[in-house]
Amino acid sequence: MCNLLYPVQSSFNRNLTLIFCLGVSLMAVSCSSNNESQPDAEASTRPNIIFIMTDDHGYQAMSAYDDTYIQTPNLDRIAREGVLFRNSFVSNSICAPSRAVLLTGKHSHLNGQIDNFTRFDSSQATFPKYLQAAGYQTALIGKWHLKSQPTGFDSWEVLIGQGNYYNTDFIENGERKPSHGYVTDVITDKSIDWLKQRREDQPFCLLVHHKATHRIWMPDTALLHDFAGVEFPVPDNFFDAYEGREAATNHMMGIYKDMDLVYDLKMKDKEGKLNTKYRKAYENRMYSRMDDEQRAAWDAYYDPIIEEFMAAGLEGKELALWKYQRYMQDYLKCVRSVDNNVGRLLDYLDESGLAENTLIVYTSDQGFYLGEHGWFDKRYMYEESLRTPLAMRFPKSMHLQGATDALVQNIDYAPTFMDLAGLDIPEDMQGQSVIPLLQGDSTNWRQAVYYHYYEYPNEHGVNKHFGVRTDRYKLIHFYEDIDTWELYDLQSDPHEMNNLYGLPEYETVTTELKNQLKELQEKYGVDRM
Ligand code: SGN
Ligand code: CA
């Protein structure tokens, strides 16, 4: 058994015996004969790829990682029948940068997409382009967020910016098209339709990029009454005072102080007494998009809650806890819809026989805070937003099942897909294919991940920072408008409450981490040290 793989601890497969077979031949197809966009007989035997990515889905809300809040049987199925990555991280915890990293296999400073404001230079090399040139049929459906027009896809249907939860518009191969229904259902329908109408003489790579579970967490009306009466456990550090962590003090993503009662929590009272900052945005951009039937179901659920809330007159701690419970209700319903729809897609793969020879990946563009430190949103290098869920179910012939604790990062997706397709991994891609790792070869696997967040100023007040995380420690440097360092021992302090930076007994550890950080910066071609 491969020494990198450990029994999965989550409830669904605690007793699973891991069966990672070594030496499975993946490269049955050589890349040399497939450099042209021509279908051939051999091509149809090459593995397909379906890459499902949600937006802002924290690992805490995927039961393969943590079943405190929700059961996600369909997402877990990918992990159970495939591989669960227990240490999966992003390199820059925000949407557009994460998507650019996925496409290019390069850190933000090299692909140029350092924040959500930049426009992606779509002339650069991406894995869809390489796959397309090698005879793959490529498609992208859902959120894009990179401003420039998608390239490297035979067909694409993308949301405009963040898109909408209800009746959202798409840009379909350059043309604006309306849709009707709930966005997670619509994206899944479109994905299944695309699979049905694709050319069957080519392998394919389909990117399914959901809007959910992004703010403002609007549930599907069909799921509004789920979790009725459930009281979610409040994270221990919900009332964090951020002692010793100046950058965390600067946040503007507090459930208590920043979450808008109308916009985020849907408390649109009829009399308009709650005239919050974003009430108009909710009314004009979100609520008004629903049709009569959708709105009637919506109101039937929220109106009694609004009435009760208006009568209760909550303040302070009570209000904070009430907001947390409401936030979790909406957020988790969005997760449930993702889970149901992933189930639908998996069923279609079974029915159509595609499951056999298709890599299916489930991940999110980054993690999210579900009340930890009192927050929503992401961006910080703290665990909840640095991590992202990741499960991969490989083609059956590869016999890859189990879980790994290896430190993987979103720079690894592109090289993994190139490898799976039997193509050479371009030297300028900075990640590594996970396939050799899962087959037992951990030589040269990374011991630490590099992180860099650049978007400041921004609506959530998170300062620019970079850092390094090993299997045990994390060192972060916040810079520019602030100049602070933070050090955490994740073994004794998994929730990152005690900043150890500057303590004499951690001097050696700090020096080692600074050296590791410098090595990674050199390796990845980072200018600033
Ligand atoms: C929007 C959200 C923010 C969120 C960013 C980035 N505000 O601006 O809360 O941090 O997106 O999210 S909203 O009022 O428009 O919902 S990202 O996932 O796209 O990077
Ligand atoms: Ca996101």
The pLDDT score that the predictor gives to residue 19 is: 35
Residue nearest to atom 4 of ligand 1 (CA): 377
Where in the chain are all domains bearing CATH 3.40.720.10? 2-216+332-444
172 CA to centre of ligand 1 in angstroms = 23
Cα-Cα end-to-end distance for the chain: 40
The pLDDT score that the predictor gives to residue 517 is: 98
Pick the CATH number of 464-524 from 3.90.550.10, 1.10.10.10, 3.30.1120.10, 3.60.70.12: 3.30.1120.10
Q: List beta partners, residue 254.
A: 375
Q: How far apart are CA 49 and CA 224, in angstroms?
A: 33
Amino acid letter at 300? A
Which of 425, 393, 417, 422 minimizes the C-alpha distance to 25? 422
DSSP 182: B
93 CA to centre of ligand 1 in angstroms = 12
Residue nearest to atom 19 of ligand 1 (CA): 95
Amino acid letter at 106? K
Of the listed ligands, the closest to the CA of 251 is 1
Amino acid letter at 418? M
| Other residues' Cβ atoms within 10 Å of the Cβ of residue 236 | 10
CA dihedral 128, 115, 185, 218 (to 10 degrees): 170
Contacts of 508 (CB under 8 A, 6+ apart): none
215 CA to centre of ligand 1 in angstroms = 7
- Global confidence as pTM: 0.93
98 CA to centre of ligand 1 in angstroms = 14
CA neighbours closer than 13 Å in the CB half-sphere of residue 220? 23
Task: Check pocket membership of 94 for ligand 1, CB cut-off 6 A.
Answer: yes
Pocket test for ligand 1, best of 57, 162, 264 (most atoms within 8 A of CB): 162
The pLDDT score that the predictor gives to residue 42 is: 53
Pocket test for ligand 1, best of 453, 454, 459 (most atoms within 8 A of CB): 459
Which of 497, 216, 211 minimizes the C-alpha distance to 341? 211
145 CA to centre of ligand 1 in angstroms = 11
DSSP states along 54-93: ESS--GGGSTTT--SS---HHHHHHHHSSEEESSEE-SS-
90 CA to centre of ligand 2 in angstroms = 11
Task: Check pocket membership of 95 for ligand 1, CB cut-off 6 A.
Answer: yes
Q: Per-residue pLDDT for the chain (529 aa), expressed as one digit of tens each?
A: 232 232 233 333 322 323 333 222 322 222 233 334 444 455 458 999 999 999 999 999 999 999 999 999 999 999 999 999 999 999 999 999 999 999 999 999 999 999 999 999 999 999 999 999 999 999 999 999 999 999 999 999 999 999 999 999 999 988 999 999 999 999 999 999 999 999 999 999 999 999 999 999 999 999 999 999 999 999 999 999 999 999 999 999 999 999 999 999 999 999 999 999 999 999 999 999 999 999 999 999 999 999 999 999 999 999 999 999 999 999 999 999 999 999 999 999 999 999 999 999 999 999 999 999 999 999 999 999 999 999 999 999 999 999 999 999 999 999 999 999 999 999 999 999 999 999 999 999 999 999 999 999 999 999 999 999 999 999 999 999 999 999 999 999 999 999 999 999 999 999 999 999 999 999 999 986 5
Pick the CATH number of 2-216+332-444 from 3.40.50.150, 3.40.50.620, 3.40.720.10, 3.10.105.10: 3.40.720.10
Which of 83, 2, 87, 75 minimizes the C-alpha distance to 400? 83
Task: Check pocket membership of 215 for ligand 1, CB cut-off 6 A.
Answer: yes
The pLDDT score that the predictor gives to residue 527 is: 85
Pocket test for ligand 1, best of 113, 118, 146, 215 (most atoms within 8 A of CB): 215
Tell me the two tokens of residue 342. 């992933």
Pocket test for ligand 1, best of 214, 251, 285 (most atoms within 8 A of CB): 214
Tell me the two tokens of residue 20. 């990672």
Of the listed ligands, the closest to the CA of 57 is 2
Which of 203, 121, 144 minimizes the C-alpha distance to 423? 203
Residue nearest to atom 13 of ligand 1 (CA): 215
Q: Are 251 and 460 in contact (CB under 8 A)?
A: yes
Pocket test for ligand 1, best of 99, 113, 116, 276 (most atoms within 8 A of CB): 116
Query: Which atom of ligand 1 is least distant from the CA of 96?
Result: 20
Task: Check pocket membership of 115 for ligand 1, CB cut-off 6 A.
Answer: no
Task: Check pocket membership of 211 for ligand 1, CB cut-off 6 A.
Answer: no
Query: Which atom of ligand 1 is least distant from the CA of 162?
Result: 19
377 CA to centre of ligand 1 in angstroms = 8
| Other residues' Cβ atoms within 10 Å of the Cβ of residue 505 | 7
Where in the chain are all domains bearing CATH 3.30.1120.10? 464-524
59 CA to centre of ligand 1 in angstroms = 19
Q: Is 427 exposed, middle or buried (0-12, 13-18, 19+ CB in 10 A)?
A: exposed
